[in-house]
Chains A and B, each alone.
Chain A
Amino acid sequence: MSKVLVVTSGKGGVGKTTSSASLGAALAKAGQNVVVVDFDVGLRNLDLVMGAERRVVFDLVNVVQGDAKLAQALIRDKRIETLSILPASQTRDKDALTEEGVERIIGELREKFDWIICDSPAGIEKGAMMAMRFADVAVVVTNPEISSVRDSDRIIGMLDSKTRHAETGGKLEKHLLLTRYDPARAARGEMLKVEDVLEILAIPLLGIVPESTEVLTASNLGCPVTLNNPESAPARAYVEAARRLLGEKVEVTTPVERRGLMSRLFGKKALA
């Protein structure tokens, strides 16, 4: 049974592409056949984040418009055999996507892969609509900030009304992935609390990914953080999120501030 998963958020810059790449790599590493599809036509990034930018010949728009076959456009990852990407076009815009074309491609991908991860563009316009249209599962990427939370709320409303599942009375699975969570700022009360975000959005929590320079380093190297440094805190958060997607019961832990050795040794004063 293949699953179409959309990674979406409404707001830009919250970590959709990073999360798509990292979850995709983590699922593929767990033995799943995975393709990550870049729906951000005109502003493609996924190929860079996954280190495939030098191998792009055909793209999503070519396949939608019938100029190329799906097999020609798919790029297999060099590190994990079961991971592929379908890049977006940089020279076209989102109007080049048609609903019929996207439906046909999703149908073809369903035959080949266990997971089809659709990396949505920011916004609520056509590109984002096309990315979520045929989804079975949605991962809503949110930062613990009010603007991000409100945009995510809007997107959840659209997932509930604009997707094929919603229109045919089916149920779309929705998960919240809280990213760029800064434990130090959370401790100082400068960020929305996890409970507050959950109260507002009222969908189950898939994971909390801490803010980390590891993520940026990995992006610049063109390697998902789950492959680049599997022991880092964000990588572990993504791997655990992927295991939850596969149905495992893994408890979500809220990242805490990592303190230096000295402050850990001498951080607490003995009670008199």
Chain B
Amino acid sequence: MLNEPLKLPKIVIRGRSFMALVVVPEAPLQPWLAALDAQMARSPSFFADRPVIANLSAIDDGGAELGAVLDALAFRELRIVGLEGIDPAALSGTGWERLPKLSQGRDLRSQIADDREVIVPAVAEPDPAAGMIAAPQPGRASLLIDRTVRSGQSIVFDEGDITVIGSVSSGAELIAGGSIHVYGSLRGRAIAGLRTGSTARIFCQKLLAELISIDGIYDLAEHWGDKRHGCAVQIRLERDHLKISPLG
């Protein structure tokens, strides 16, 4: 009766990766901000609901204007969640000094090693003149791949669904903002829900995958065992567990 420990709720902490946009302001600042305004006028929703990292290394000359730059970005409704390239201590007294400094990020484009085939339409070719990321092409919420995805190839499509007419080989990976559909054998990795989160699903004609993941929750082949091995299945997220059920 005495001192019965209070039942505390279990804390579940999950790791998850998000895609943030990195802006790199350049001196002279006024033309750069004008270019940003022009870019935002062309595609108003580009930064909407996107976390933004400010990389201030290009304008870090010890001057006091760093805080003003961040104010200017925030005024344009960019949601700045972190800093790159400078020490946050340089911002003391500006109201921005509590921003975390990030050093672990990897450029999506830097994954494009020579032999990897990465399709990243959401972050299209950067426009070197403006120092900015170009707007996503409108009307491309799904990506159709009309061939076998071979070992070593990586298809990254952050915008939406990936559909493969063919198989996905062992050692290949699909990374989709939305759902993944494979009209063939899925032998490699399928990572879905980068953007849509837990509503994404994975469908395949023959489940022989190495790894499947929706919204950061993943399962390895050894988790699901032989029961669904080689079957036509759909995979969805139910209460933080991947549920594999037969199709049809």
Contact = CB atoms under 8 A, between A and B. Distances in A.
A163 to B, nearest CB: 13
A206 B117 CA distance: 28
Contacts of B136: none
A156 interface: yes
Contact of A156 (B117, B150, B166, B185): B150
Interface in B166-212: 166-167, 169-172, 185, 187
A153 B115 contact: no
Contacts of B152: 124, 153-154, 157-158
B187 A157 contact: no
Contact of B171 (A154, A158, A160): A154
Interface in B111-151: 115, 117, 147-148, 150-151
Nearest to B152: A154
B78 to A, nearest CB: 36
B234 interface: no
Contact of A153 (B117, B166, B169): B169
Contacts of B117: 157, 161
A204 to B, nearest CB: 14
Contacts of B172: 157
Contacts of A161: 117
B185 A153 contact: no
Contacts of A252: none
B170 A202 contact: no
Contacts of A162: 115
Contact of A157 (B150, B166, B167, B185): B150
Interface of A: 124, 146, 150-151, 153-154, 156-158, 160-162, 199-200, 202
9 contacts: A150-B169, A150-B171, A156-B150, A157-B150, A157-B151, A157-B152, A157-B172, A199-B167, A199-B185
Contacts of A199: 167, 185
B39 interface: no
Contacts of B171: 150, 153-154
Interface of B: 115, 117, 147-148, 150-153, 166-167, 169-172, 185, 187
Contacts of A151: 151
A158 B115 CA distance: 7
Nearest to B171: A150
A146 B166 CA distance: 19
A142 to B, nearest CB: 12
A158 to B, nearest CB: 7
Nearest to A159: B150
Contact of A202 (B115, B151, B153, B167): B167
A199 B152 CA distance: 18
A161 B167 CA distance: 17
A160 B166 CA distance: 15
B211 to A, nearest CB: 15
A157 B116 CA distance: 10
A154 B150 contact: yes
A160 B170 CA distance: 17
The 8 tightest CB contacts between A and B, nearest first, are: A157-B150, A153-B151, A154-B151, A154-B152, A153-B169, A153-B150, A157-B153, A150-B170
B190 to A, nearest CB: 17
A124 B115 contact: yes
B169 A200 contact: yes
Contacts of B167: 199-200, 202
Nearest to B149: A157
A172 to B, nearest CB: 13
A229 to B, nearest CB: 36
Contacts of B115: 124, 158, 162
B153 to A, nearest CB: 5
B208 to A, nearest CB: 10
B184 to A, nearest CB: 9
Contacts of B187: 200
Contact of B166 (A124, A150, A202): A202
